[in-house]
With several copies, the nearest count.
Chain A
Amino acid sequence: MDFDLSDDAKTLREAARKFLEAEAGPKSARAVMDAEAPHDVALWAKVVAQGWPSARVPEAHGGLGLGTDEACVLAEEVGRSLAPVPLLATMDAIEALLIAGSEAQKARWLPRLAAGEAIGVVAWGEGDSKSPAQMPATRLESGRLSGVKTPVQDGLSATLAVVTVASADGPAMAIVDLASEGVTRSPVEALDLVRKSARIGFDSAPAEPLGDAADWVRLTERLAVLHAWEALGTAGAAMEMALAYAKDRQAFGLRIGRYQAVKHRLADMYIKGELARAHAMHGCWAWGTDASELAQAAAAARVASLEALSFTAEETLQLHGGIGFTWEHDCQFFYRRARAVSAALGSRAHWADRLVRALEQRNRAAA
């Protein structure tokens, strides 16, 4: 038994952390927040040069053909560094193609995504309060896509979108080149000011179907795992900031980390983070081995990581006191990002429900 990341993945994590600590971090996030550009173009070029977008793309399509361990550590490090680049969005789209793409679709898009020539995104929300499992209004008929997706995180950067469309069996996917006629885009104001969101309208835009409804369910499970790692990274960075502050800041003659109200809160962050990490690893394993536990492990990873991230973001700000609430402080990045991560793939309650559905099936199978 070896319930640990592969050595290759650990090496990649170290490298990615070092790279992003040097190149990204809150400063880069703040620069993008204050700028017009939807992402850090220079950083993105360097990330592409690192080959990260190509991580999961098979060698036959110009990628590195790496496993889920490597994908997950990249997600963690992007989450940790808040790097304002559309890497995870692109990895999402790649995963959609890997699950559901025809050979032609893969051949057309994977090499371009791997090389950073295309930026991908997966878009399902329509500005209403539906979960990823509810039927979208967007339709694909005779190769023409009509509907609106909003808010699409990284949607201003993307050149290629995988979108959900209504089908008889539930939400299914279509793939659309965002340079096509009939595609309109505008910025949308959302809670996360760093990872910017778009409203993307489709008015009979040319598009192709991508797999079937079951593929969408499978994709959401994989993305639940991938983004659980992102959440772990973001929560970890917030917690480290809180920890450093608690060791330094003084009140009433003591470093505040001496007060149990503070230290036990930090212990709780650690506990929630460790539980989330354990489930995220389980999810990574289930995804990588296509195990029957994936539905369960992915949902658990999602629920546990959202719980860890939102608690950590809220209490990191609280532990910083007044300064944490200012525009100039980095606390807001974590506080706002927690909402973005939740919105990106459906809330805790949605995934708790899915988790229990998977557990019921397992309980029935065991009985």
Chain B
Amino acid sequence: MDFNDTPEQAAYRAQVRAWLEANAAEYLAPPEKPWGLDEFVARSKAWQRKKYEAGYAGITWPKAVGGQGLTPMHQIIFGQEESRTYVPTGLYSIGLGMCIPTVFTHGTPELIARFVPKALSGEEVWCQLFSEPVAGSDLASIRTRAECDGEAWVVNGQKVWTSFAHRSDFGILVTRTDFSAPKHRGLTMFIVDMKAPGVEVRPIRQMSGASDFNEVFFTDVRVPDSWRLGAVGDGWKVALTTLMHERLAVGGKPRHAPGWQMLIEVARGIETDSASALERADVRQRIASTYIADEGVKLTQMRALSALSRGAMPGPEQSIAKVVVAKTMQDMAAAALDLAESAGFAAEKGSDLEKLQQSYLWSAGLRIAGGTDEILRNIIAERVLGLPGDLRPPKDTPFNEIEPL
């Protein structure tokens, strides 16, 4: 066991670090006040452009599509170093993490040439148009319709939970092209121009007050057949590529989310009825269990990285990360707010307690987004442990004849 870099890794890390010092100097501390959305987008584009030009974009992607053709360990080293700064990266995490790999896996050479470079350089932003109001966990039950009309398809329907839809240039879109086929077999995937006539984006406000997602409405939107990804009816297979990349992206504790350290600091400042909060056995056990969960996930991911560096593919084992982290955040935030009594209910702006309030709201969404706790436990039970799937209605019923049980 060795927590140190190999000489090659150390050299790459040193090179990255030097580049970041030269290029990310303005991002070494958090911004004094939060950026507005316009500024965030502008800064994100500028930063992605810099990375692209310096050869730090698409690190693991094939050279043929403009990537660097390096190993996942290079990607991880770059990510580790980049995350020591406060550079803005979230605008591209879905596009470059999930959409473009789907494009270069299933797209024609023309599509790859047209879309991949501009995505990689940050010039064009991408979003993912999968979920629908009646198709959440059960993605294959989507109802957005695409009908063939000569050389183009006409799309009607509604998508939901689309991050950065209003700032995206293009999206990957899963539609149903055959309602009389069984549920998984009537789907087809397209690239869609988010500026096309008939595309309407409406922000969704979350419980926390923020609007990180959108609804997207499609009314007679025309998509050229040449922008199709994969064969007609093969949309589910194409979507699985995207979802496999989601598995890599949905991970551990969100950066800067409160953890055990904050619980120690909050407890240190509270004198309860019986003792200093930090001395109370229940609080200490809560700190311990938060540490066990959060650090355990980190260490588990390091085990996966070690396997990755030996050539293994990340498997469904990684599903434990979010299921552990989200519930731990929720429980820890609730415990801390309890401990803080009325100060936890009306917390001062910018205080640790306010961060814990946000964490309490945010964690409720994190337990759902990117696979609910329940879906992730099913994945672990079925794909890791080999248990049989839930009993469900036959898979070969035509979609338009399915009667819910």
- Among candidates B138, B207, B387, residue contacting A266 with C-beta atoms closer than 8 Å: B387
Task: Give A60-101 as 1s and 0s: 1 = Cβ < 8 Å from B's Cβ atoms.
Answer: 000000000100000000000000000000000000000000
What distance in Å separates the Cβ of A289 from its nearest Cβ neighbour in chain B?
8
Proximity string of chain B (346-378) to chain A, C-beta cutoff 8 Å, 1 when within and 0 when not: 100000000001001100110111001110011
B273, A355: Cβ atoms closer than 8 Å? no
CB distance from A255 to the nearest CB of B (A): 6
The reply to whether the CB of A154 lies closer than 8 angstroms to some CB of chain B is no
Please report the C-alpha to C-alpha distance between residue A299 and residue B287 in the assembled complex, in whole angstroms: 13
Residues of A within 8 A of B307 (CB): 4
Determine whether A335 belongs to the interface, using a CB cutoff of 8 Å to chain B: yes
CA distance A252 to B382 in the complex (A): 15
**A1 to B390, Cβ gap below 8 A?**
no
Does any Cβ of A come within 8 Å of B65's Cβ?
no
A322 and B368 form a contact (CB under 8 A): yes
Binds A, one of B149-157, B239-247, B289-297: B289-297
Is A212 located at the chain interface by the 8 A CB criterion?
no
In whole angstroms, what is the CA distance A128 to B366 when docked? 29
Near B by CB (< 8 A), chain A positions 309-332 give: 310, 314, 317-318, 321-329, 331-332
Q: How many A-B residue pairs have CB under 8 A?
A: 306
**Chain B residues with CB below 8 A from A304, complex form:** 292, 296
In the complex the two chains form, is A191's CB within 8 Å of B357's CB? yes
CB of A189 closer than 8 Å to a CB of B: yes
Q: For the complex, what is the distance from the CA of A247 to the CA of B134, rounded to whole Å?
A: 14
Chain B: interface secondary structure?
Answer: helix
Alpha-carbon separation in the docked complex, A192 to B360 (Å): 13
Is A11 on the interface with B (CB-CB < 8 A)?
no
The one of A134, A150, A253 in contact with B273, judged by C-beta atoms closer than 8 angstroms, is A134
Question: B299–A281 contact, CB under 8 A?
Answer: yes
Asked if A346 lies at the interface with its beta carbon under 8 angstroms from chain B, I say yes
Q: Mark B364-405, 1 if CB is under 8 A from A, else 0.
A: 110111001110011011101111111111000000001011
Contact B320 A259 (CB under 8 A): no
**Interface residue SS majority, chain A:** helix
Among B1-9, B29-37, B41-49, B119-127, the stretch that binds chain A is B1-9
Given A255-B405, A258-B405, A279-B295, the answer on whether A352 and B346 have CB atoms closer than 8 Å is no
How many residues in A have their beta carbons less than 8 Å from beta carbons of B?
Answer: 95
Residues of A within 8 A of B131 (CB): 322
Stretch at the interface among A50-58, A106-114, A337-345: A337-345
From B94-102, B216-224, B333-341, give the one contacting chain A.
B333-341
B400 shortest CB reach to chain A, Å: 13
Interface residues of A in 262-286 (CB under 8 A from B): 262-264, 266-268, 270-271, 274-279, 281-282, 284-285
* A323, B265: Cα distance in complex, Å: 34
- Among B161, B287, B388, max chain A CB count under 10 A is at B388
Give A270 Cβ to nearest chain B Cβ, in Å.
6
> Can you sample 22 A-B contacts with CB below 8 Å?
A1-B2, A1-B5, A3-B299, A3-B303, A129-B270, A129-B341, A191-B345, A251-B138, A253-B138, A258-B387, A262-B374, A271-B320, A318-B367, A318-B372, A321-B372, A322-B368, A326-B206, A331-B207, A352-B284, A353-B281, A359-B260, A360-B264
With A317-B207, A318-B367, A350-B341 known, 16 other A-B pairs at CB within 8 A are A150-B342, A255-B388, A255-B405, A257-B381, A258-B387, A264-B374, A267-B385, A268-B377, A275-B300, A278-B302, A281-B303, A318-B373, A343-B345, A349-B272, A359-B260, A360-B264
